[in-house]
């Protein structure tokens, strides 16, 4: 039984007067819990999950506030962000309110259990199926200073390593990743209308705008609203030439008839690897090009994108392979 089901089993045994779920993910048990509660709020900024939550007939938000009898936290891939969610959840609770978490052992359950104990003072936990469910109640033992620190640590800030605004939880948030670095080294001079597909906090976009005065317009597409907020801040200087789109890169709502598309596609959904995600994004990137338009992408050398490129492009070539990555150029 996965951690999410263990958590909802524990949750449904409780009286749900009001419910907050941080890093909420679409699941039929989430709908059941929200229907049982007299009032709920769900925190999520990732567009595909927000859409999945909406399909359940529920609402999600980029920020939540108020007071709730129970707050649920689902861990993210980034520990700093998860700790921030834990602290936020505790501050949403009144005296005696309960925070509940669940996590697979291999994703750091023991560490989060210990962290919650530091925050709340005491924790109740149980283990099953290589997962752990743990909970705590807000009391006078809560470490308010630690809660404020955890929230502060996860906020947007200017990162010295690359000079851009970013925040924990985003892809390669505090450094220039090897793939993007390699792609930037092999991009030609760009002009006209283009798109940074899966732009993250705007690392590629900033460099493209700095280097290419011939760019007329740049569409920045990103599924994570938190990343897009950073990207918009990082591209303020070129705001007249840039449009930011909070979009699922696998969907049909992307800009069309572009001269070029640049892409460093993700291949993870939450904690799990998802190769088909990157393939679907690359396919949509190809469809966004006009006839004769060019795709420039970087990927892990072992990931299978070639069959997608063969289907959607007239031709393509691997420009370089280095440090476990490959840079590909193709023409529609």
pLDDT confidence bin for 9, thresholds 50/70/90? confident
Whether 87 contacts 150, CB under 8 Å: yes
Segment 245-271 mean pLDDT = 88
3-153 and 157-331: identical CATH topology: yes
Superfamily of domain 157-331: Vaccinia Virus protein VP39 (3.40.50.150)
Q: Specify the CATH number for 3-153; select among 3.40.50.150, 3.40.47.10, 3.40.50.1820, 3.40.50.10420.
A: 3.40.50.150
Q: Residue 291: which region, alpha, beta or left (left: phi > 0; alpha: psi -120 to 50)?
A: beta
* Distance of alpha carbon 173 from alpha carbon 170, whole angstroms: 5
Q: What's residue 94's pLDDT?
A: 97
Q: What's residue 96's pLDDT?
A: 97
Per-residue pLDDT tens for 264-281? 998 755 544 578 999 999
Q: What's residue 4's pLDDT?
A: 87
Per-residue pLDDT tens for 191-201? 999 999 999 99
* Distance of alpha carbon 278 from alpha carbon 227, whole angstroms: 18
Count CB neighbours of 54 within 10 A: 12
Q: What's residue 271's pLDDT?
A: 46
Per-residue pLDDT tens for 20-60? 999 999 999 999 999 999 999 999 999 999 999 999 999 99
Residue 243 in this model has a pLDDT that exceeds 90: yes
* Distance of alpha carbon 316 from alpha carbon 134, whole angstroms: 51
Count CB neighbours of 59 within 10 A: 12
Residue 3 in this model has a pLDDT that exceeds 90: no
Reduce the DSSP state of residue 85 to 3 states and report it.
Answer: helix
230-261-188 Cα angle (round to 5): 100
Token look-up 């994004």 returns 281
Per-residue pLDDT tens for 102-157? 999 988 999 999 999 999 999 999 888 899 999 999 999 999 999 999 999 999 99
First to last CA, the chain: 45
For CA atoms 33, 34, 38, 40, give the dihedral sign.
positive
* Distance of alpha carbon 242 from alpha carbon 234, whole angstroms: 11
b/e 178-205 (16+ beta carbons within 10 angstroms → b): ebbbbbbeebeebeebbbbbbbbbbbbb
Of the listed ranges 3-12, 42-51, 90-99, 250-259, the one predicted with least confidence:
3-12
Q: What's residue 1's pLDDT?
A: 56
Domain ranges of the chain: 3-153, 157-331
């Amino acid at each position: 039984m996965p951690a999410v089901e263990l958590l909802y089993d524990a949750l449904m045994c409780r009286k749900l007067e009001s419910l907050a779920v941080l890093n909420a993910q679409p699941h039929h048990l989430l709908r059941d819990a929200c229907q049982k509660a007299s009032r709920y709020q769900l925190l999520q900024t990732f567009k595909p999950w927000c859409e999945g939550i909406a399909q359940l007939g529920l609402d999600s938000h980029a920020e939540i506030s108020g007071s709730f009898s129970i707050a649920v936290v689902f861990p993210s891939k980034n520990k700093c962000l998860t700790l921030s969610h834990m602290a936020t959840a505790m501050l949403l609770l009144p005296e005696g309110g309960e925070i509940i978490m669940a996590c697979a052992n291999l994703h750091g359950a023991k560490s989060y259990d210990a962290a919650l104990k530091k925050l709340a003072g005491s924790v109740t936990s149980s283990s099953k199926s290589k997962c752990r469910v743990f909970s705590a109640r807000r009391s006078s033992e809560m470490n308010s200073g630690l809660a404020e620190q955890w929230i502060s640590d996860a906020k947007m800030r200017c990162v010295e390593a690359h000079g851009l605004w970013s925040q924990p939880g985003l892809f390669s948030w505090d450094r220039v990743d090897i793939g993007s670095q390699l792609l930037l080294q092999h991009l030609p001079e760009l002009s006209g209308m283009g798109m940074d597909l899966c732009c993250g906090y705007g690392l590629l976009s900033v460099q493209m705008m700095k280097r290419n005065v011939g760019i007329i317009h740049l569409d920045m597409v990103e599924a994570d609203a938190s990343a897009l907020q950073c990207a918009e801040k990082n591209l303020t200087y070129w705001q007249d030439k840039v449009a930011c789109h909070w979009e699922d890169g696998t969907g049909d709502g992307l800009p069309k008839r572009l001269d070029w598309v640049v892409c460093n596609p993700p291949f993870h959904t939450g904690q799990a690897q998802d190769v088909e995600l990157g393939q679907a994004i690359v396919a949509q990137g190809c469809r966004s090009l006009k006839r004769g338009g060019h795709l420039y992408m970087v990927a892990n050398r072992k990931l299978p994108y070639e069959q997608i490129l063969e289907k959607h492009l007239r031709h393509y070539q691997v420009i370089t392979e280095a440090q476990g990555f490959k840079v590909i150029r193709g023409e529609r």
